[in-house]
Structure 1
Amino acid sequence: MRGLSRTALAEVEQRFNAVAASADLGTLADELFAVADLLDREHGLRRGLSDPARPADQKEQVVRGLLEGKISATALEVAVAAVRSRWSHAGDLPDSLERVGVMAAAAEAESDGRLDDVEDELFRFGRILSANPDLRRALSDPGVPAERKRELLAGLLGGKVAPSTLRLVTQVVVHPRGRSLETALDQYGWIVARARERLVGVVRTAVPLGEEQKQRLAAWLRATYGRDVHLNVEVDPRVLGGFSVKVGDDYIDTTIAGRIEEVRRRLAG
């Protein structure tokens, strides 16, 4: 987000942080997702509530009239903060509510001591989708009813992942909002990592890393970036040997495949 929307998002997050402490975080996440989904469906409502020329008090009155008694007081306060803010683009309004919904799920995971699990499980499920085209088609097919997708995910993941992970994956699958499932899962993973103000490093290696290797790599990245880096490790035999790490826009490649490609480029030049 840029300009007005970046400021507005900070205001919504600040309001969320102020009211979420006493909330049922799982319920709060579901309610914020539901409001974001409502605004996605109702284009006229979204345009009206994000119109910077419309008085904030009037927009608040509309939201309270629509949602009061249907969602918790906490979720309503966050929604009111969102519509009272000024957005550069109408789509940034539901985006902000989805984002704080993910933050609520992350806070739920942290309170359960499972935030690391959620980060790992979102990453792994994205890679499972990439490796299983049939599953990906079934979950991304708009012709498959939402309830059927929920049942499929419950059967696949229920009792095997953290409740927050199942909540987030279900939201992505049922309401992808124009994104690929892998892209949405990556975005959610970034927001979850931000709950602890950590960076995320995607490591590609030919063989699984041992725990000591992961700790050494994490310590090196922490010293490099000045903050913790959560490692998502992807085993890919095509790298041949060594490893690569992607942190944000930075890419560190020590793989044999990378060196071979570099030699090829130099020869071609």
Structure 2
Amino acid sequence: MSETLAAYRYAKAVMDLAVESKQADALEKDMRQVREAIAESEDLRDLLGNPVVNTAEKLKALKAVFAGAKPMTQKLFDVLGENKRIGLLDTVAHQFILLYEKMQGQDVALVTTAVPLSAAQEKSILSQLKKITGKETSLKNEVDPELIGGFVLRVGDLEYNASVAGKLDHLKRELIKR
């Protein structure tokens, strides 16, 4: 099973529980804090991804860093730890946020580029997305220098890869076929 699919399933389960217990708003804040902390702390990223550090130590660190988190967030840490999936925490938090935004009626497009988008580029992409989807969409830009150039656009389940790295990969597959 792919990592993203597994993360989606955890996020969906937590979302269902959060909605049922009317805690979705509070959990969404926790998930944003989790993503922010992981993005800002190289030490935390290294700890969560390190196979040498045992799960109990990872959970101890998470509970110390996120001591003020809701009990349901703490329980998510435990479940991920029990299932040896603690390394998925950032992706689970991201999937939860996407589910929350969708539940709120917001479509969020994720654009991954080699360099940050300018305001004019963001505006152009948003206008094209409105034409395609017929809905107002917010835009999130992630930077990945390995794309070399171009972009990868994801809206919901749809993905459009117009990156140089993606085109090179496609060319490589075509050459291997022959």
TM-score per shorter chain, which class? 0.5 to 0.7
Is residue 262 from structure 1 mapped to residue 170 from structure 2 by the alignment?
Answer: yes
> How much has 1:266 moved relative to structure 2?
2.6
Partner in structure 1 of residue 45 of structure 2: 132
1:219 to 119, 124, 127: 127
1:190 to 82, 98, 103: 98
Deviation string, structure 1 residues 28-66 (Cα, Å, up to 9, x no partner): xxxxxxxxxxxxxxxxxxxxxxxxxxxxxxxxxxxxxxx
Is residue 173 from structure 1 mapped to residue 77 from structure 2 by the alignment?
Answer: yes
- Is the contact between residue 150 and residue 170 of structure 1 (CA under 8 Å) also seen in structure 2? yes
Greater per-residue strand proportion: 2
- Is the contact between residue 112 and residue 141 of structure 2 (CA under 8 Å) also seen in structure 1? yes
Q: Which range moves more in the overlay, 251-260 or 209-218? A: 209-218
Structure 2 stretches lacking a partner, 5+ long: 1-12
* Distance 1:224-1:251 versus aligned 2 partners, 3 A rule: same
Between the aligned partners of 1:214 and 1:171, the Cα distance in structure 2 is: 37
Partner in structure 2 of residue 112 of structure 1: none
Between the aligned partners of 1:135 and 1:263, the Cα distance in structure 2 is: 35
Is residue 100 from structure 1 mapped to residue 100 from structure 2 by the alignment?
Answer: no
Between the aligned partners of 2:136 and 2:154, the Cα distance in structure 1 is: 14
Between the aligned partners of 1:101 and 1:203, the Cα distance in structure 2 is: 32
Deviation string, structure 1 residues 66-119 (Cα, Å, up to 9, x no partner): xxxxxxxxxxxxxxxxxxxxxxxxxxxx7575241696342x59xxxxx8x888
Between the aligned partners of 2:115 and 2:21, the Cα distance in structure 1 is: 32
Aligned-residue RMSD, C-alpha: 3.9
> How much has 1:201 moved relative to structure 2?
2.4
Is residue 152 from structure 1 mapped to residue 65 from structure 2 by the alignment?
Answer: yes
> How much has 1:194 moved relative to structure 2?
2.0
> How much has 1:187 moved relative to structure 2?
2.8
Between the aligned partners of 2:97 and 2:21, the Cα distance in structure 1 is: 9
Partner in structure 2 of residue 204 of structure 1: 112
| TM-score in terms of structure 2 length | 0.64
Amino acid at match of 1:100: V
Higher RCO (CA 8 Å, separation ≥ 6 residues): 2
- Is the contact between residue 206 and residue 240 of structure 1 (CA under 8 Å) also seen in structure 2? yes
> How much has 1:213 moved relative to structure 2?
2.2
- Is the contact between residue 113 and residue 142 of structure 2 (CA under 8 Å) also seen in structure 1? yes
> How much has 1:244 moved relative to structure 2?
0.6
- Is the contact between residue 123 and residue 186 of structure 1 (CA under 8 Å) also seen in structure 2? yes
- Is the contact between residue 15 and residue 100 of structure 2 (CA under 8 Å) also seen in structure 1? no
What number of residue pairs does the alignment pair up? 158
Between the aligned partners of 2:30 and 2:120, the Cα distance in structure 1 is: 22
* Distance 1:174-1:214 versus aligned 2 partners, 3 A rule: farther
Alignment of 1:1-269 (within 5 A): 97-100=16-19, 104-106=23-25, 123-125=35-37, 127=39, 132-137=45-50, 141-144=54-57, 149-154=62-67, 167=70, 170=74, 172-176=76-80, 178=83, 179=85, 180-269=88-177
Structure 1 stretches lacking a partner, 5+ long: 1-93, 110-114, 159-165
* Distance 1:126-1:251 versus aligned 2 partners, 3 A rule: farther
- Is the contact between residue 150 and residue 164 of structure 2 (CA under 8 Å) also seen in structure 1? yes
Deviation string, structure 1 residues 135-155 (Cα, Å, up to 9, x no partner): 5559x954138665332235x
SS at match of 2:56: coil
Deviation string, structure 1 residues 206-233 (Cα, Å, up to 9, x no partner): 1112233223222322321222333332
Partner in structure 2 of residue 34 of structure 1: none
> How much has 1:256 moved relative to structure 2?
1.3
| TM-score in terms of structure 1 length | 0.45
